[in-house]
Amino acid sequence: MRTIATYQPKNVISFKKQLLHWAQQFNDVVWLDSNNYHHNYSNYDAILAVDGFTSIQSNYEDAFNKLKEYQSATKDWIFGYLTYDLKNDVEKLSSNNFDGLGFPDLYFFQPKKLFLIKNDSVEVQYLNFIADEFEEDLRDIEKEDECHPKYIISSTVERRRIPEEIKIKLRIHKDEYFEKVNTMLNHIHRGDIYEANFCQEFYAENTQINPLETYFKLNEISKPPFASYIKFHDKYVLSASPERYLQKQGKTIVSQPIKGTAKRSDNAAEDQTLKINLENDLKERSENIMIVDLVRNDLSRMALKGSVKVEELCKVYTFEQVHQMISTVVSVVDPVTHAVDIIKSTFPMGSMTGAPKISAMQIIEKLEETKRGLYSGAIGYFTPTSDFDFNVVIRSILYNASKKFVSYSVGSAITSKSNPLKEYEECLVKAKAMREVLEN
């Protein structure tokens, strides 16, 4: 049973920062922040889940069945992530590329303490509540000073002085990137695939960062609708994702794939031109429409007949760093359909794979140099009533504090109309925010 209370902070913006500082004392932390971006399918402005009561950790083998059993048995809020490599549980695929991060393929936990923020109010849900516990926590939270928080980092390794310079390396250099994209284009011209999302990793070794401060900086310059800060012991995710993967509200399933990116300009007229050009770009629209068709097909596997609909097609939304072309696809499922089965039937998301999906994933595995892991996976939660909401892990910094390894990856959709140089430049635009915060 959860004890529920409500709280009205004097200043929600300050409270959110204090709350996240306070959370650093725990080994299990999931923070989800919409940055006050309201959409038809928005639920909460922000959520904090901390302090695992129960948890599940798994490699890809039989991972979805294990999650299904855990979610069914728990019947409570659970928070966590699904890595891209769970594709190997869905299809006969493999992930053999280099992995410098070493994250488990799947991790979820049932939080003892949960904070749900909506408008100016905070709903607090505590599991196995102890008298006065919330009041004590609230006093601690409000004591947290932004500049000198009581809990910045839990590990002693992190308390040392952060190096002034982070040396970011490329896993795939420019000439090799062109060769690989041309190989991908050969597959497309041969008819093996229509489209594939090709990704490359940027990384830094023997590097220490302050995860929370890095997250705050990344979020400040990006302000995306699906931001997240994840801490599982020594592993961190600092995500500025603009993309929803999949949401379930009752019988309604929502997917909002992004395909199509344009840079922003400080000049208002030029910025508007960039946005209009993206709206009318035939290549970008064709990329988006191909993935919409793939998402419609994925959703139809579990949907009631005739219920799959495209609510928005190729609509351009503006964010701090980029303009993005987003479509919204919805469906209706039978109430008895298990939530985890819905995710499994659509995983991994089409916007990060390509079409046809299996062929694209096979080619991706051969051409990419890095195991994707949590990049292009999903972070989110299940509710006690088996609703769920998950983002797509893009525009994200991944950090293993014990290995002192920092990584961020970016990708672009390769189609028959792709120009390798333009695809490379698009990757650099997407990587800009991560590089900025790491290089300070």
- Return the active site residues: 243, 259
Cα separation, 95 vs 1, in Å, equals 40
Q: DSSP per residue over 22-73, as a string?
A: HGGGSSEEEEEE-TT---TT---SEEEEEEEEEEEEE-STTHHHHHHHHHHH
User: Under DSSP, is residue 205 helix (H, G, I), strand (E, B) or coil?
Assistant: coil
CA separation, residue 380 to residues 6, 32, 271 (Å): 23, 8, 32
CA distances 187 to 37, 49, 154, 293, 355, Å, are: 39, 44, 48, 20, 12
The neighbouring-strand residues paired with 124 are 5, 115
* Beta-strand runs (E) in 76-127: 78-82, 106-118, 121-127
Question: What is the DSSP-derived secondary structure letter of residue 176?
Answer: H
Tokens standing for residue 318: 């503006």
Q: From residue 288, how far is each of 134, 275, 376 by CA, in Å? A: 46, 15, 17
Residue 315 token pair: 């609509």
